[in-house]
C-alpha cells in the first residue's frame, strides 16, 4: 500500500542524500545498504536514524573511530539501539567521532575528519561530530550521540541542532563503549527540542544490564509546550569572567536572556565558585576512568592483535599501534593520577572538588529552575587550527560541570556568530529532564 511505500522511501531518501553529500561531509564511518537496513513495525517505522560509532549494533561494525576496533562486529545491540528498533526506527549507519569519544572536533578520529555542513573548512565539533553533521545536513532525521563532558551538546551547538545530555542514570549505558563510566550518558541529537523529547521518551528507563539506571518513568512531552512563565534562571558570573568568550557568542547569550525575560522568566546573576574548577577536575577524572576502561584492549579479548614473541611485547605493540595520540595521552595521564604516589594529590583531590561542585549546584537548584550558559565559548573553528592540548581542553569550559554533577543539560540553537550557529545551554536539576526540555522548547 501507499503508506508502506512512502515509509520505505524515507530510507531510500536518506541513503540517496548520504550518497550525494557524504563523500565531502564524511559524517559516516559505516553506511548500510538498503538490503541491510532493518525496518521494523512501530510508531516510528522506517524513520532514518544514525548511531554514533561507540554504541554497539548487532552485526554492524562498531569501531569507536579507533584502529584497535577497526574490524570489531558486536554480537549484540546496545539497549538504546534495541529500544529504537522496537519503536520502528531504521538505523542507516554509524557516525564518526573522536577516537573513543576523546575530543571536541572529530579531528581525532583515526579514520578521517568530518566537516561542518555550514562551512566545510570547519570542524563539526565533537566528539559526536558525525552525528551532528548527519542531522544538520539532512542525511538522517535524528541521531544518537554520547556525552562525557559535552560531546552531544558542543557538536549540536557547532552544527545548529539540538543536543541533550540526560540526567546520569536515566538512559542505559549498556552497549555504550565505556570512556569515563561515571560521566558517560547517551543522548539524542535532533532538529527540534520536541524530537529530542520524543527520543528520550523511547530510550530512557531502568535496564537490568546497567545497574546505574534508575527506575523512573518520565513524561517528556505532556508539559513541553507550557512555557516558562515564573521560572527562575541563574546565569553564572563565571561565564562573563571567562576571557575566551567570543564577542558575538556573548551577544547571542544576552539576546537569549532578554527573550527568557520576555517569556516571563526571572533571570539573576549568581556566583558558583567551584565552576571554574570544572574543566581541571574533569581532565583528572575522565582520563583516570578511561585508563582503567581501556585496559581491556590488550590484543587478546577484542580487536587488533599484533603478535610478538612475548606477551608483554604483544600488549605494548598492539596498544601503541592501535591507539591514537590523544587516547595514549589520556591513558598516560590517567595512569599517572591513579598511581600510588599521586593518587591523593590528583585523583582523590578531583573527587573532592567534584563533590563540592555538586553541592554548589544543588544550592543553586534550591533557588532556581535552571542555569543558562552558552554551550561553547566559541563557534565552530577551522580544521587544524587548535593544536595545543590545553587550549583544546579549555573549550569544554561550560559543558563538563553537568557531567560531573550528573545533571541534565540541553543545547539549543540560538542565532549565529560570524555566520556560524551558536548554542545556548540549559542545565537543570537531577531528574528534571522534562523541565529542561520544556525550557529549551520555549527558546528554540
Ligand atoms: N571534549 C571532552 C573530552 O575530550 C568531552 C568528550 C565527550 O563528552 N565524550 O573529553
Domain limits, the chain: 1-264+372-444
C-beta 396 within 6 A of ligand 1: yes
Which stretch of DSSP H or E encloses residue 429?
A: none
Residue 8 has pLDDT above 90, yes or no: no
Among 154, 159, 151, which residue's Cα sits nearest to residue 119?
A: 159
Residue 303: CB within 6 Å of ligand 1? no
* pLDDT of 5 over the 80 cut: no
What pLDDT sits at residue 4?
A: 76
The pLDDT assigned to 205 comes to 98
151 is a catalytic site residue: yes
pLDDT of residue 49: 98
Q: Rounded CA gap, 240 and 374, in Å?
A: 10
Q: Answer yes or no: is pLDDT of 120 > 70.
A: yes
Q: Mean pLDDT throughout 96-109?
A: 98
**What's the CATH number for 1-264+372-444?**
3.90.1300.10
| Mean pLDDT on 16-23 | 98
Distance from the CA of 178 to the center of ligand 1, in angstroms? 12
Does residue 148's CB lie within 6 angstroms of at least one atom of ligand 1? yes
6 pLDDT band, cuts 50/70/90, is: confident
End-to-end alpha carbon distance in the chain: 37
Provide the 3-class DSSP secondary structure of residue 321. helix
pLDDT, mean over the chain: 97
CA atoms lying within 13 Å on the CB side of residue 112: 13
Give start and end residues of each alpha helix (H) in 205-246.
237-241
Residue 162 — left, alpha, or beta (φ > 0 → left; ψ -120 to 50 → alpha)?
A: beta
pLDDT beyond 80 at 171: yes
Q: Are 87 and 199 in contact (CB under 8 A)?
A: no
pLDDT digits (tens, 9 = 90+) for 201-237: 999 999 999 999 999 989 999 999 999 999 999 999 9
pLDDT score for 1? 67
Q: Please report where in the chains the cell 529500544 appears, as a residue.
A: 83
Residues 349, 72: Cα–Cα separation, whole Å: 37
Query: Could you tell me which residues are beta bridge partners of residue 403?
Result: none
Contacts of range 71-74, beta carbons closer than 8 Å, 24 or more positions apart: 71/303, 71/304, 72/302, 72/303, 74/175
Burial of residue 130 (CB within 10 Å: 0-12, 13-18, 19+) is: buried
Q: What is the pLDDT of residue 7?
A: 77
Q: What is the pLDDT of residue 329?
A: 98
- Residue 148 to residues 167, 250, 263, 290, 294, Cα–Cα distance (Å): 12, 25, 32, 11, 15
What is the distance between the alpha carbons of residues 273 and 126, in angstroms, rounded to a whole number?
27
Q: Is the minimum distance from the CB of 80 to ligand 1 under 6 angstroms?
A: no
Q: Which of the residue ranges 39-43, 151-155, 393-397 would you say has the lowest mean pLDDT?
A: 39-43
211 has catalytic annotation: no
Going by the DSSP 8-state scheme, the letter that residue 57 receives in this structure is B
Q: Looking at residues 68-89, what average pLDDT do you find?
A: 98
91 to 53, 58, 87, 120: CA distances (angstroms): 12, 11, 12, 25
Give per-residue pLDDT as tens, 294-353. 999 999 888 999 999 999 999 999 999 999 999 999 999 999 999 999 999 999 999 999
Could you please report the per-residue DSSP string of 331-350? HHHHHHHHSTTTTIIIIIHH
**CA–CA gap between residue 213 and residue 207 (Å, rounded):** 6
Grid cell of 142 as nine digits: 535524528
Alpha carbon nearest to ligand 1 atom 4, residue: 103
Q: Residue 388's closest CA among 88, 72, 15, 105? A: 105
In the chain, pLDDT over 90 holds for what percent of residues? 97
376 is catalytic: no
∠ CA 385-66-332, nearest 5°, is 75
Q: Which one of the listed residues 66, 104, 109, 127 is annotated catalytic?
A: 127
* Distance separating alpha carbons of residues 161 and 143, to the nearest angstrom: 11
Work out the burial of residue 195: count CB atoms within 10 Å of its CB; fewer than 13 is exposed, 13-18 middle, 19 or more buried.
middle
Of 246, 266, 288, residue with least CA distance to 374: 246
Is the C-beta atom of 150 inside 6 A of ligand 1?
yes
Compute the distance from residue 197 Cα to the ligand 1 centre, in Å. Answer: 23
**Nearest in space to 97 (alpha carbons), one of 164, 165, 135, 151:** 151
| Residues 240-282 pLDDT 10s | 999 999 999 999 999 999 999 999 999 999 999 999 999 999 9
Q: Distance (Å, rounded) from C-alpha 377 to C-alpha 334? A: 26
- Rounded mean pLDDT, 153-170: 99
Amino acid at each position: 500500500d501507499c503508506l508502506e511505500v512512502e515509509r520505505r522511501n524515507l530510507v531510500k531518501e536518506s541513503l540517496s542524500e548520504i550518497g550525494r553529500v557524504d563523500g565531502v561531509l564524511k559524517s559516516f564511518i559505516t553506511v548500510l545498504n538498503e538490503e541491510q537496513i532493518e525496518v521494523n513495525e512501530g510508531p516510528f517505522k522506517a524513520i532514518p536514524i544514525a548511531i554514533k560509532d561507540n554504541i554497539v549494533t548487532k552485526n554492524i561494525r562498531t569501531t569507536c573511530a579507533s584502529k584497535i576496533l577497526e574490524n570489531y562486529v558486536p554480537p549484540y545491540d546496545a539497549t538504546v539501539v534495541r529500544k529504537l528498533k522496537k519503536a520502528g526506527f531504521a538505523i542507516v549507519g554509524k557516525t564518526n567521532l573522536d577516537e573513543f569519544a576523546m575530543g571536541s572536533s572529530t579531528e581525532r578520529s583515526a579514520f578521517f575528519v568530518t566537516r561542518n555542513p555550514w562551512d566545510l573548512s570547519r570542524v563539526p565539533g565533537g566528539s559526536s561530530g558525525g552525528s551532528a553533521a548527519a542531522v544538520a545536513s539532512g542525511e538522517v532525521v535524528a541521531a544518537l550521540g554520547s556525552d562525557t563532558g559535552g560531546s552531544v551538546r558542543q557538536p549540536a551547538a557547532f552544527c545548529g541542532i539540538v543536543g541533550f545530555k540526560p540526567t546520569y542514570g536515566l538512559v542505559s549505558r549498556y552497549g555504550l563503549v565505556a570512556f569515563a563510566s561515571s560521566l558517560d550518558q547517551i543522548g539524542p541529537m535532533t532538529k527540534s527540542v520536541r524530537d529530542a523529547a520524543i527520543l528520550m521518551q523511547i530510550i530512557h528507563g531502568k535496564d537490568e544490564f546497567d545497574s546505574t539506571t534508575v527506575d523512573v518513568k518520565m513524561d517528556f512531552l505532556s508539559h513541553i509546550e507550557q512555557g516558562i512563565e515564573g521560572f527562575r534562571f541563574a546565569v553564572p558570573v563565571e561565564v562573563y569572567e571567562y576571557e575566551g568568550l567570543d564577542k558575538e557568542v556573548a551577544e547571542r547569550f544576552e539576546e537569549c536572556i532578554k527573550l527568557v525575560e520576555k517569556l516571563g522568566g526571572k533571570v539573576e546573576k549568581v556566583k558558583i565558585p567551584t565552576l571554574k574548577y570544572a574543566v581541571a577536575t574533569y581532565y583528572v577524572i575522565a582520563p583516570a576512568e578511561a585508563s582503567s576502561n581501556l585496559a581491556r584492549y590488550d590484543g587478546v579479548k577484542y580487536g587488533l592483535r599484533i603478535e610478538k614473541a612475548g606477551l608483554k611485547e604483544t600488549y605494548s605493540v598492539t596498544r601503541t599501534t592501535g591507539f591514537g595520540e590523544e587516547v595514549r595521552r589520556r591513558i598516560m595521564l590517567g595512569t599517572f593520577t591513579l598511581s600510588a604516589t599521586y593518587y591523593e594529590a590528583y585523583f582523590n583531590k578531583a573527587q573532592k572538588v567534584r563533590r563540592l561542585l555538586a553541592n554548589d549546584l544543588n544550592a543553586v537548584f534550591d533557588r532556581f529552575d535552571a542555569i543558562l550558559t552558552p554551550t561553547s565559548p566559541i563557534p565552530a573553528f577551522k580544521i587544524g587550527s587548535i593544536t595545543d592540548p590545553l587550549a583544546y581542553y579549555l573549550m569544554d569550559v561550560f559543558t563538563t560541570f553537568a557531567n560531573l554533577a550528573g545533571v541534565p543539560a540541553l543545547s539549543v540553537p540560538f542565532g549565529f556568530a560570524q555566520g556560524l550557529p551558536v548554542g545556548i545551554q540549559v542545565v537543570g536539576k537531577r531528574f528534571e529532564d522534562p523541565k529542561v526540555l520544556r525550557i529549551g522548547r520555549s527558546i528554540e
